[in-house]
Amino acid sequence: MLGDLWLLLAVLAYASYTTLLRIKPAISLMSFLAVTFALGGSTLIPPMLLEWYWVRLPQGSPQLTWAVGYVSIFPSILAFLFWNRGVELIGSNLGGLFINLVPVFASLLAIIFLGENFQWYHAGGMLLVLSGMLLFRKSAVPRSDQEKAPA
């Protein structure tokens, strides 16, 4: 239950972030990312200090170094850079639709890289997500364009 609440708050925060990208100040994407990361990182300092106090520092290893490096570059810097540019190009309404592809790609990557077996619920979930996206795109056509289209 508590995890569901945290997830709901995270989704609402990300939706707000995407919606507010429309009114992003007229600065370069890299400057905007730097400010975004500084603000986000500063909010993580108190929980980090609490974890270090209660759990202690993690033991260093080459695997930990690679993992931190990977997470720092790909899902952090590059993903936000591409997301911000994509929303800038297609708008927040259509951009917000693509967040629904996260579980689709997560499932596919788990199947490819982690050896997870493809199950019926993967196919069902992917079908539901893609169907919802297609329905949204179809309903997003302005009424005047629908009337002009041949039957």
Tens-binned pLDDT, residue by residue, of the chain (151 aa): 777 788 888 888 888 887 787 787 888 878 888 888 888 888 888 988 898 888 887 778 888 888 888 888 888 788 888 888 888 888 877 887 888 888 898 889 899 998 999 999 889 999 999 998 888 877 765 545 544 445 4
Note the pTM of the prediction, 2 decimals. Answer: 0.57
Predicted local confidence at residue 124, as pLDDT: 93
CA distance 69 to 136: 37
Domain ranges of the chain: 14-90, 91-141
CA distance 14 to 96: 9
Separation of CA 76 from chain center: 10
